[in-house]
Chain A
């Protein structure tokens, strides 16, 4: 399977614990995005990387959230001191942005569902 993969698919944790999610994008894709989706809502943008550079962060990304893409391939999203309000589906997407154009079809992974008790 050469699509976007995410691990784990499900995570249950207690309030106050730290959690880390991983995303492996499609191998030749240079952009990687993180979104959060709560029940009945559309995905909300959190942050995105072009190669290893984090180019934009949403105001939703509080200081408890940090994302990295150290080698421009896989990415991790860490949430420290989790709160019940962090319970959501965390979606990763990747895209290939050519130097000459701006068309930007994003391919999504299956998501990691986080439940904070």
Chain B
């Protein structure tokens, strides 16, 4: 199974509401990244949080990392219809060059 597992698998909200997605992982990590993917397109990097960081902000995005629980969350505030996409977390193991992705959360923001 994938190292990162996102929860929930699907999320549907109204425009203006906040969206929270969670990611759990199993091994020690160097960093964790969140990506967005619009249907049929490549992945767009959103934010990277290092293992020694607990929280990071970028615009309407807020990411937290709890290494003791091996979990991360992505919060999108004041969501817009354009935020509709799949969101993936990816972990980079301490000794690995690759990133390992979960199966994503599909977010639908209704106008």
Q: Contact: A33 with B98, CB < 8 Å?
A: yes
Q: Contact: A43 with B97, CB < 8 Å?
A: no
The chain B residue with its CB closest to the CB of A93 is B43
Give chain B's interface secondary structure class. Answer: strand
1/0 per residue, CB under 8 A from B, across A81-117: the answer is 0000000010101000100001111111111010000
Q: Contact: B97 with A56, CB < 8 Å?
A: yes
Number of A-B pairs whose CB atoms are under 8 Å? 63
Min CB gap A18→B, angstroms? 24
Q: A31-B97, A55-B97, A56-B97 are in contact. Are A42 and B42 (CB under 8 A)?
A: no
Looking at the complex, which one of B40, B44, B88 makes contact with A43 (CB distance below 8 Å)? Answer: B88
Q: Contact: A105 with B45, CB < 8 Å?
A: yes
Q: A40-B103, A55-B97, A104-B97 are in contact. Are A91 and B88 (CB under 8 A)?
A: no
Residue contacts A-B, CB under 8 angstroms, 18 given: A4-B42, A31-B97, A41-B104, A42-B101, A42-B102, A42-B104, A44-B101, A45-B98, A48-B97, A48-B98, A91-B42, A93-B43, A97-B97, A103-B48, A104-B97, A105-B48, A106-B45, A106-B99
